[in-house]
């Protein structure tokens, strides 16, 4: 891939993400793949909330299905698809919890309605009627009033520590470009792949 001269994957990922914002309504959307305790694949869409040399950060309810799966098996994969640009990035690695201070700072930056929603939602659990969720939103809105909404102890984030990052660029005749970076010690090995 001529547009990725780098010997590490994070700088080109950030360039591709910046470029995706020009044509994608939410360029930070990705699919998170985990496995259930019995080895079944499990995937869902999330939003990327941070990316630096340490890894890729996302947040969730720690009592959710995805958090339970990551607790049982911290191996995970992310897949970003920017169809308007004919690009995909796949990331594989191990997840670890973010520090409490980092989760607190991100939670404080969220809109108040999203903060209340984090308290109100018993994510991934059965819900008989939507009215019950709306009742819980009202309950927590009253509880916190005009006060600062603290981060719930059951809500935090994960950082995926990348071990493999693959860039895919669509080309005519299905002769796509693929470039794989694989972690080797403190550095990266760069390798082209057949389409």
Tell me which residues are annotated as active site: 174
Q: Work out whether strand 29-35 and strand 155-169 pair parallel, antiparallel, or are unpaired.
A: unpaired
Sequence-distant (≥ 6) Cβ neighbours of residue 162 within 8 angstroms:
9, 55, 56, 91, 92, 93, 183
Tell me how long the chain is.
195
In the 8-state DSSP scheme, what is residue 148? -
Q: From residue 120, how far is each of 24, 135, 152, 154 by CA, in Å?
A: 30, 9, 10, 12
């Amino acid at each position: 891939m001529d547009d990725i001269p780098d010997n590490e994957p994070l700088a080109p990922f950030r360039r591709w993400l910046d470029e995706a914002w020009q044509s994608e309504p939410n360029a930070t959307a990705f699919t998170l793949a985990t496995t259930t305790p019995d080895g079944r694949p499990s995937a869902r869409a999330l939003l990327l909330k941070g990316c630096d040399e340490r890894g890729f950060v996302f947040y969730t309810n720690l009592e959710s299905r995805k958090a339970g799966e990551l607790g049982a098996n911290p191996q995970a994969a992310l897949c970003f698809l920017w169809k308007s640009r004919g690009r995909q990035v796949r990331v594989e690695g191990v997840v670890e919890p973010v520090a409490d201070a980092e989760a607190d700072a991100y939670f404080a930056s969220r809109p108040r309605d999203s903060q209340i929603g984090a308290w109100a939602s018993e994510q991934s659990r059965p819900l008989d009627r939507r009215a019950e969720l709306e009742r819980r939103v009202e309950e927590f809105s009253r509880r916190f009033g005009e006060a600062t909404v603290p981060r719930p102890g059951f809500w935090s984030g994960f950082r995926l520590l990348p071990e493999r990052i693959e860039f895919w660029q669509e080309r005519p005749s299905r002769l796509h470009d693929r470039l794989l970076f694989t972690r080797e010690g403190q550095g990266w090995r760069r390798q082209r792949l057949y389409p």
